[in-house]
Structure 1
Amino acid sequence: MQNKSLAATGFLCLGVLVFSLQDVILKGLSDTYPVTQAMTVRSIVALPILLVLVGATARLRSIFSKRAGLLAIRAVISLGAYLFYYLSIAALPLADAVALFFVAPLIIAGLGILFLGERPHTATLIALIVGLLGVIITLQPGLAVFEWAAVLTLLAAALYSSAQVLARKLGDSEVAAVITFYQNLAFLTGAPALAALVSLGGLEDANHPSLAFLTRPWVWPTLQDTLLMAGCGVIASAGMTLLSQAYRLAPAGNVAVFEYTAIVWVPLWGLLFFDEVPKITTVLGAVLICGAGLFALRSAR
């Protein structure tokens, strides 16, 4: 059990790092392309990668699982989570969106206790509280976070938490690649369907950045942007598999605190790609968050 917890921690930290790169790409594309187009291209690229992963870790026929219904429900929930999050980063500073999303580990821990019967360790609870304090210091709640797009981030966090708790429930019979395959399939079918609904509804003249990212019509991308969208497919297949593997190996409350490690990468990507200089409060918050994660890992050992 101890080895599984340590492995789950490693998978989750790596998955968070991988996904942070996708956030940067999608925020950069949000002024030109609709989110549904980026998600569709990403899912097309990820599909063969995930089929290879399924074949390598199980058998291709394992896709036809007896728990396909629960897998599909989790996939649709994940689609909603990531869609809301991507829409929010079009309007919010990346650091604010990520910090708001950090209510997810608390929700995951709570759902794990309520629905999976997990007993939280005192060290885990302390780490979650300290990590949340670090998030608050980093975010410095003010007028900017009351932009309504912040609500999308909170909705994304709630849906994401539910999806990861379901991954834990599915973990006793399904490998991570199969869980991720269903999630990618929901993206591949759901994004074009949503784009069609937006087009038929005549909702293509939105002014708000989040709505524009959703309703903007598809356009033929440049070669560079096509490669960036395709790169998201590689990132997504790796990131979703790593996160699914983490939550299927260990109790949700034990590993959820390591979701906070994303705050380490956000200031770095903001500086490199968006010329955002980290504030002293961001650095202080990151220290608290990392300290909480290290404390939880030391306690697990």
Structure 2
Amino acid sequence: MTPTTHPPSAQNAKGVAFLIAGVAVFSVQDLILKLLSGDYPLHQAMVLRSLTAIPFLLLLVHWEGGLGSLFTKGTRAMIGRGVVMFAAYTAYYLALAALPMATTVALYFSAPLFITILSVFFLSERVGPRRWAALIAGFAGVLIMVRPGGELFDWAALLPVLSGFTYAVSMIAARRLGSTETASALAFWGNAVFLAAALAMSAVLGSGAYDDGGAAHPALAFLLRGWVTPTPFDLMLMMSCGIIAAAGLTLLTQAYRIGEASVVTPLEYTGLLWSVIYGWVFWRQWPSLPDWTGIAIIIGAGLYILWREARPQT
């Protein structure tokens, strides 16, 4: 497909619809992993998710660029990006086990702030004083939610911030690789790294030798727990994460293929809406006033930065 500089409004509308659908689909995966985090280890869920996703991702690769697109000069770089993505999502999933969904998702949305900073150093992009002010405000929102040094501080709150940073690194890499590699190839190698790393984690942790019986912090328990024979329903949930990941990727990829990034990207924040809904329905968790303040600041700063980046003169 040959991209156009200014897609018609109808195309942007379709792009927005695909983006909203993709975020909604991915939010289901977050819900599933949080539901499973109290009984199963993360590496077990990752192995089953990654295995299930392989055939769907291969079909996507074949449809978008052919299987040959997996083996190019950029293959090593795609694998390297997959390692960074693995770190990003491992931190994110561990945070889900310990924190309310809305808190995890909101802190993860520090990613656009990190992307803007990294783009200055690695992509030589210009950031004006207004965007720097928005960045400072955004990180102030992060501090409000993390509460470093406070009585309610939980070190797991640093995990989604780490996830946002490593995700930002992967997106900077994607900008460099995107001109020569397909989105499906990037996703395939990311999934391959997920599978290899999860298998390595299972080899070390799968016996349960480091499992303390659930006495550890929820994030550590989710990481260190040994393999557990799943019920048929739980097995189906773990495997469904692979289908969800492939479907979500297809929807998001299509959104950015047919719509302008400046139009569709702000809709990423609809993920926060789903996290609030799921948190209330399943765990009766509702963000506190400081959390709502931090959420509003982070989202406001992110949306402002996206708006400014859409204006060439800034």
Equivalences for residues 164-243 of structure 1 within 5 A? 164-199=171-206, 202-205=209-212, 207-240=216-249
Greater mean deviation of Cα atoms: 111-120 or 28-37? 111-120
Question: How far, CA to CA, are the matches of 1:290 and 1:147 in structure 2?
Answer: 22
CA distance change for structure 1 residues 154 and 132 in 2, over 3 Å: closer, same or farther?
Answer: closer
Contact persistence 1:180–1:241 (CA under 8 A): no
Question: How far, CA to CA, are the matches of 1:16 and 1:112 in structure 2?
Answer: 24
Question: How far, CA to CA, are the matches of 2:113 and 2:303 in structure 1?
Answer: 17
Cα offset, 1:244, TM superposition: 6.5
Greater mean deviation of Cα atoms: 287-296 or 44-53? 287-296
Question: How far, CA to CA, are the matches of 2:208 and 2:286 in structure 1?
Answer: 41
Question: How far, CA to CA, are the matches of 2:41 and 2:305 in structure 1?
Answer: 39
Cα offset, 1:68, TM superposition: 0.5
Q: Which residue of 2 aligns with 1:42?
A: 49
Q: Which residue of 1 aligns with 2:273?
A: 264
The yes-or-no answer on 1:58 pairing with 2:72 is: no
Cα offset, 1:48, TM superposition: 0.7
Larger Rg: 2
CA distance change for structure 1 residues 19 and 122 in 2, over 3 Å: closer, same or farther?
Answer: farther
Question: How far, CA to CA, are the matches of 2:231 and 2:283 in structure 1?
Answer: 21
Cα offset, 1:141, TM superposition: 3.2
Q: Which residue of 2 aligns with 1:117?
A: 124
Contact persistence 1:8–1:255 (CA under 8 A): no
1:146 is paired with a residue of what secondary structure?
A: coil
Equivalences for residues 268-283 of structure 1 within 5 A? 268-279=277-288
AA at the equivalent of 2:172: V
Q: Which residue of 2 aligns with 1:97?
A: 104
Which whole-Å deviations, capped at 9, do the CAs of 1:216-248 have from their partners, x for residues lacking one? 111111121112112211222233455667789
Cα offset, 1:264, TM superposition: 2.3
Cα offset, 1:174, TM superposition: 1.1
Question: How far, CA to CA, are the matches of 1:208 and 1:93 in structure 2?
Answer: 14
Q: Which residue of 1 aligns with 2:38?
A: 31
Greater share of residues in helix:
1
Q: Which residue of 2 aligns with 1:85?
A: 92
Cα offset, 1:77, TM superposition: 0.8
Number of aligned positions between the proteins:
300
Cα offset, 1:22, TM superposition: 1.4
Contact persistence 2:115–2:169 (CA under 8 A): yes
Q: Which residue of 2 aligns with 1:141?
A: 147
